[in-house]
Chain A
Amino acid sequence: MTIQAAFYLQRRNFVLDVDMELPLEGVTALFGPSGCGKTSLLRAMAGLERCRGRLRLGEQCWQDDGYFMPTYKRELGYVFQEASLFAHLSVQGNLEYGWKRLPPAARTVAQADVIDWLGLAPLLKHRASELSGGQRQRVAIGRALLTSPRLLLLDEPLSALDRQAKREILPLLEGLAARTRVPIFYVTHAPEEVERLADRVVFMRDGQIRHIDSLRQALSRPDSPLFVDEGAVSIIEGTVGESLPDGRTPFTFNGLCLWLVKPLRQPVTRARLRILASDVSLSLHPLPDVSILNQLALTIIRVYPAREGRVLVAGKLADGQPLLAEISAYSAVLLGLAEGQQVYALIKAVALLT
């Protein structure tokens, strides 16, 4: 099943002109600098922004020439940048607001599950004004989820939160798609959130879609917009195991293992590991006497031309997953790095994305 969306919206100094067709599953990130139209696109999908266009979910039409389904009839959940809880209702009242408006047969999500999963039980009697930012956003997510949506739209749900609250909400968002199987559109300008959550990325700029990539494709371009802030990044999917008494935690993927040293707050099973290319060094041989914990064999696929004295080396691990290393151009020449060569990636600061 796919979602087809095409919108044209004209504002002062701004034109949104998009047309896309995507699989209706997983997490789609709408990524771009502020003012690029990603929020407008999301609002248009929700019917909050009235504009010319077309929107279809599978066989169901939400908008077309001469037809506009009002927002309240669209089976969607929307989480705004600020939680925007109803001030006159308790947490419980907020959670139930949409739920009560569904016909009982349409309620596929149980209140108890959502309350339990988001840890809202102790807050139910509180008013919105008594909650912290992170707690409010949790309620907003639960409230949207309880409308049993066919589509979940999240508009920078983390951007108004402090670091601590972000750290609290991000794992929940990771679980959201997997648990609920509701397709998600996620607006953000933070590469880290894309790398951690998205299955595919819609890159937007100046009101238009530049390209749509799977996350892996998006991370394989050395000039990816995702790399603007922190430089190139690799994402490895795997499983976090039980911590050992010596403080190490294994992260296994396809028979390979990386050691994490950062203690995890909660036992995670499936996870994405985010490795900055600048944290990866290369060696021609395995090194027995270094403090670096992780040494993985790497086959070089490509050495990109030097920029500002540094080169980006793309390689693949034994299981075929890509890994990027950023080293100085001098070292690259010294080691004589070439495509197809077998080297060892030394990964020092491996930390789970938090």
Chain B
Amino acid sequence: MSFSPQDMAALWLTLRLAGVTVLLLLVLGTPLAWWLSQSRCRFKTVIEAMVALPLVLPPTVLGFYLLLALGPNGPLGALSQALGSGSLAFTFTGLVIGSACYSLPFVVQPLQGAFTTIGRRPLEVAATLRASKLDCFFTVVIPLARNGFLTAIVLGFAHTLGEFGVVLMIGGNIPGLTQVISIAIYDHVETLQYVEAHLLSGMLLALSFSILMAVYMLNRRFSVVHP
């Protein structure tokens, strides 16, 4: 028994989507989380609330607004069209943007927590040891926030793996192009193909479980070294 080519495509697409999304979120989320952890700006709470919004908002609501924004008449879609690459709705790029919004809090919040835990002192020490702010960030903050990064990567990745509503709204269900694994499972169940649904679901379950196991084991090992 094995996966059909279409299921394989969905699986590959899902992994690719999750990987690209996490990378994008690390690049964008790290500075954002750092700013949130350091700033005493009045608008900080507004930004924090916006970052947390995907936690409570139904994915369909988020997907609906994203669809409008990414579509040919939306601001992002129009921008993309002006640059000559067509509307973003129902494309992989669109999916990445949608997933990034959806998984944003799962990356930003662990990072912000880790940065806050470090406190001001190590930054001050680094400054007295001739390290510029950027130098200090890469040589002190990132190593000290390692567990936060690990958590952010895993949560961001795992959360994107299981995404359904947002993808369905903005990506549709185009096999090989925007069909992700959770939607493929939904399709199989709809058409009573329980064997295929079992296979994919079981695989996703095993994958998610092993990722989390690995993280907890790593965390434990590190925390023994670093009480």
Contact = CB atoms under 8 A, between A and B. Distances in A.
Interface of A: 46-48, 70-73, 76-78, 80, 82, 84, 86-88, 97-98, 101-102, 127, 129, 143-144, 147
A38 to B, nearest CB: 17
Interface of B: 121-122, 124-133, 135-136, 139-140, 143-144, 146, 225-227
B121 A80 contact: yes
Given A80-B121, A127-B225, A129-B226, A48 B144 contact: no
Given A48-B124, A86-B122, A101 B143 contact: no
Contacts of B129: 72, 97-98, 101, 143-144, 147
B130 A98 contact: yes
B127 A70 contact: yes
Contact of A84 (B121, B135, B139, B226): B121
A80 B140 CA distance: 17
A77 B127 contact: no
Contact of A102 (B130, B133, B136, B143): B130
Contacts of A87: 144, 226
A71 B144 contact: no
A46 B131 contact: no
Given A72-B131, A86-B122, A88-B144, 11 more contacts: A48-B127, A48-B128, A71-B124, A72-B129, A72-B132, A72-B135, A76-B128, A78-B124, A84-B122, A84-B125, A129-B227
17 contacts: A71-B124, A72-B127, A72-B129, A76-B128, A77-B128, A80-B125, A82-B121, A84-B124, A86-B144, A87-B144, A97-B129, A98-B128, A98-B129, A98-B131, A127-B226, A143-B129, A147-B130
Nearest to B127: A71
Nearest to B128: A78
A101 B127 contact: no
Contacts of B136: 72
